[in-house]
Structure 1
Amino acid sequence: MHKRRAQEISASPNMANVSYNETPIYIQHVDEKNETARIYPLDDPENEHDVSLNELKEDYR
């Protein structure tokens, strides 16, 4: 996922269909310098972790 799009999603009040390893996730924060995102699975909000932006996929349906 592009850095700019990840930032738009994290700042938006609307939910976007984004996944990490085919798991639907929520993007909390984007680290521009390291090109990572702080995420958590929608069904497990306590499981926060940082991942590379390249590993995030947006479903445009």
Structure 2
Amino acid sequence: MDKARAKQIYDSDETFTVQLDADSVWIENVDEANGMVTVTVGNNPVNTKTVSCDRLKEIVK
């Protein structure tokens, strides 16, 4: 996923299905300058990761 799409999803009121590897994630923050995102993995608020935007995949239903 590119950083512009990650930012669109983060700013949207809609819900999108996004995955990091095989895990479903919520985008918590987008660092556009560095192309990085902070995500919460699953429903566990203490399980956060900061990764490159290109590691995220939007699942279109």
TM norm. shorter chain > 0.5 = yes
Give 1:30 deviation, angstroms: 0.6
CA distance, structure 2, for counterparts of residue 58 and residue 19 of structure 1: 6
Percent identity between matched residues is 31
Q: What RMSD in Å do the two structures reach over aligned CA positions?
A: 0.9
- Structure 1 runs (4+) deviating above 3 angstroms are none
Give 1:3 deviation, angstroms: 1.0
Select the structure that is richer in strand. 2
CA distance, structure 2, for counterparts of residue 49 and residue 11 of structure 1: 19
Letter in 2 for 1:9: I
Give 1:46 deviation, angstroms: 1.2
Matching residue of 2:53? 53
Provide the aligned length of Structure 1 versus Structure 2. Answer: 61
CA distance, structure 2, for counterparts of residue 39 and residue 31 of structure 1: 11
Gaps in structure 1 of 5+ consecutive residues: none
Structure 2 length-normalised TM: 0.90
- Correspondence 1:1-61 to 2 at 5 A: 1-61=1-61
Structure 1 length-normalised TM: 0.90
Residue 40 of structure 2 aligns to a residue whose secondary structure is strand
CA distance, structure 1, for counterparts of residue 12 and residue 41 of structure 2: 17
